[in-house]
Amino acid sequence: MPLRHIALALAVVSIWGSNFVIIRLGLNAFPPLLFAALRFALAVLPAIFFLPRPDVPWRNLAAYGALVGTGQFGLLYLAMGSQISPGLASLVIQTQVFFTLLLAMRLSHEAPQPYQWLALLLAASGLAVIGAHTDAHTTVLGLAMVLLAAFSWASGNIVGKRAGRVNMLAYVVWSSVFAAPPLLLLSLVFEGPTRIAEGLASAGPVAWGALVWQAVGNTLFGYGVWGWLLSRHPTNQIVPLALLVPVFGMSTAAWWLGEGLPAWKLGAAALVLSGLALNLLWPLRPWRAR
């Protein structure tokens, strides 16, 4: 890849990783479900007027919007509200790779390969280490919610794959039409008009900036550039760079928010990342074609 394309890919994964800190800043003012609803509303408007609807069935867009918008980010924001730290959230959510793999194999009736079982075991060991060190900042409930968010993301990946080759940016924007309204309804029911009004009234420049960054930087720029790079380079040159997302997530959380990096947390991260790396990189091993 040209150096500028590598720089673009690194810019995207750094945005996706540091975004967990940005989420935490937004949650200091907005209730979680309202924050998620506003994020997807801003992703829709005004971009939807400039991007043609992808040539996929409405039910596909609705399913993706519900799974990724309401399921993934609704649960993730709720967990990050008070149940899990940003750095660990950026790590645990990456288990979507394994959920996607298992769902795909379930649908295709394929058996996992030995290296995939080993990768899953490594990642599960890392999650067990996190579960053994839950405290006031990361609870069992928070860990479970992020795992459910990862499963919802994986389910969305399967739905998105069935959409075929589409403009991913347009696909995300149009599917967000089906994410914002349910999130707003859930916010009205569970957070209530009073809390919503208080959140909107108390939000300052940092919170509104975090919201804009969610929609513009994380969604529009991130998905747009990532899709553009995937259309120009082999997948095996681009996708492994996503392994850096939790690295940026944990390091920026430590830098900006003072989130500690004790030995157990680094060990858990090493196990999860080793599992992710094995799953992604083993099929690309140089001796495979010999």
| pLDDT single digits (tens) 28-53 | 999 999 999 999 999 998 889 999 99
* Residue 119 near residue 276 (C-beta atoms within 8 A): yes
Q: Which two tokens stand for residue 81?
A: 């509200």
Per-residue pLDDT tens digits for 163-187: 888 888 899 899 999 999 999 999 9
End-to-end CA distance of the chain: 24
- Distance in angstroms (rounded) separating the CA atoms of residues 19 and 177: 22
* Residue 130 near residue 267 (C-beta atoms within 8 A): no
Q: What is the pLDDT of residue 9?
A: 87
- Rama region for 237: left / alpha / beta (φ>0; ψ in -120 to 50; rest): alpha
Against a cut of 0.85, is the pTM above it? yes
Residue 229's CB is within 10 A of a number of other CB atoms, namely: 19
- State the number of CA atoms in the 13 A half-sphere of 277 facing the CB: 11
* Residue 278 near residue 122 (C-beta atoms within 8 A): yes
Per-residue pLDDT tens digits for 193-238: 999 999 999 999 999 999 999 888 888 888 888 877 877 777 667 7
